[in-house]
A and B are shown apart, each in its own frame.
Chain A
Amino acid sequence: MADLLKKEQIQIQKTIWFFLLMSWIFRWWSGVLFYQLNNAPFVSVEADNTFWLFHALQFPYFSIHYFYIGIILDLLWLVFAIIGLTIKHNRIISTLMCLLFINYFITFNSVSTHHEHILTGLLFCIILLPIKDHKNFVLVFASIRFYAVFTMFSAGLWKVCRGSVVNPLQMTEILKTQHLDYIVNYPESYYTNFINYLIINPNISNFFWHCSWLIEVAFIIGFLTRKFDKILGIGILLFFFFNYLLMDLFFIEFCIFTIAFYPFKGVWDYYNTKLAISKSI
């Protein structure tokens, strides 16, 4: 069991390093690495106290206002990701990567002036990188699985509390706001016709809205059992595939959470047996 767990722990950590590398490439292509955000005029800290602290300590300021610091931070991310993928566990590099990523998360969201959740999957999963001890790794992995369940289920719950799940025009209004630019700039395209069709047929767009809500609330089962984890993992992928198709939201980095629903035999056997508390204790 220990060998299988060790193998799976390495697999999970390498997958996270791979996502970090892909994220770097995707962000370079999107033009949002530190050096590409150089001298961005506006920031938005909103009411986030952690953002306030980071900005007061000037970490985002140095990252975006000093071009060469930005370049160095970008290169460090790339080099750490490559090292993490190729060599054995290294706690110092893993810890530095975590700090680097937290700084990027805060700086990017500040400069976007819109605090997105697109990177929260990676933000939580990178906690697994510095951990070497099997017991702690399994406990933290189980915690991240519960957090992934929470992210999806709470989204469904917010829609109930705010009443948007029963709003008959919710999806059509989201589509109008989301695609206004595309529709006015490409009035004849197939995609515009598709989105227009959904806007003028609220019953069909609501079908997608309610299906996505059902996927979200179905995650409540994840708090009670791991029996349906494969379905929940597919649920996340489906949810974000349709998000991309209908809303043009590309949440690939968030999908790292699906790793928590993969049935790692070694990890969960260890969780069920080695971490089990006998009744005599």
Chain B
Amino acid sequence: MGNTYFYKLLKHNMLLFILIIGFITCQLIFTYKQVETTPFFNYGMYSENCLPKKTYQTIAIFENEHKIVQDQLPVFLKYQLRTYSKLIAQDSIDDVVNTIENRFGKETNLSNYLIKYLTNNKRSIKEFPKWVEEQLDKTKLSIKIEYYEWLNESFELINSKKLH
């Protein structure tokens, strides 16, 4: 017991001991609540149960109906594309807006300030296609969601929906 890690911390650096005990306590709370607040992370590493889906979807960019292959796109642009599609599906409403209004009230100064800097608005959605064109140095791009089914040991395109 005398030579355990915690005992050494306690004897040699009380401040570090308190910090680490505080860190462990917060980590346990956030793990229990299954949410993350930096630097208290939950390392699930694909632990969420994945069940077979009827359709698998991806977002594709087309230049004059010619598909731009996704692995030629910067990684963060792919994530931005997903957010674009999600916001359109949610009628341009960012989930965080509701959270802010629940916490700090509707139309308060603080809520308005936080909504401006923490959330995505309709203007961002409107400007997104132009930003993508600038990033890829291309014009006349269209963005589509493609729906695939896993049939006969391969993916088959069953539908697509134009977002822009």
| Set of chain A residues within 8 Å of B118, measured between Cβ atoms | 43, 45, 52, 55-56
With A42-B120, A151-B43, A183-B155 as contacts: A162 and B49 at CB distance below 8 Å: yes
Give the size range of A's interface with the partner: 35 or more
Q: Is A230 an interface residue (CB 8 A)?
A: no
Query: Across the interface, do A177 and B56 meet the contact criterion of CB distance under 8 Å?
Result: yes
Most chain-A Cβ atoms within 10 A of its Cβ — which of B2, B47, B49?
B47
Query: Across the interface, do A146 and B5 meet the contact criterion of CB distance under 8 Å?
Result: yes
Q: Is A87 an interface residue (CB 8 A)?
A: no
| Set of chain B residues within 8 Å of A184, measured between Cβ atoms | 58, 146, 148, 155, 157
Residue-wise, chain A 238-281 has the 8 Å CB interface mask toward B (1 for contact) of: 00000000010000000000000000000000011001110101
Q: How many contacts A-B (CB < 8 Å)?
A: 190
B26: min CB distance to chain A, Å: 11
| Set of chain B residues within 8 Å of A182, measured between Cβ atoms | 70-71
A30 to B5, CA, bound (A): 40
Nearest CB in chain A to that of B134: its residue:
A39
Query: Across the interface, do B76 and A32 meet the contact criterion of CB distance under 8 Å?
Result: yes
A37 to B77, CA, bound (A): 9
With A176-B56, A180-B155 as contacts: A170 and B50 at CB distance below 8 Å: yes
Partner of B120, one of A43, A114, A164: A43
A49 to B100, CA, bound (A): 12
A161 to B157, CA, bound (A): 35
| Set of chain A residues within 8 Å of B9, measured between Cβ atoms | 139, 143
Residues of B within 8 A of A (CB): 2-3, 5, 7-9, 11-13, 16, 20, 31, 35-39, 41-53, 56, 58, 67, 69-71, 74-76, 79-80, 82-84, 87, 96, 99, 113-114, 117-120, 124-125, 127-128, 131, 146, 148, 150, 153-155, 157
Known: A30-B74, A52-B114, A151-B41. 7 other contacts (CB 8 A): A40-B131, A42-B120, A49-B37, A51-B38, A115-B36, A173-B53, A185-B69
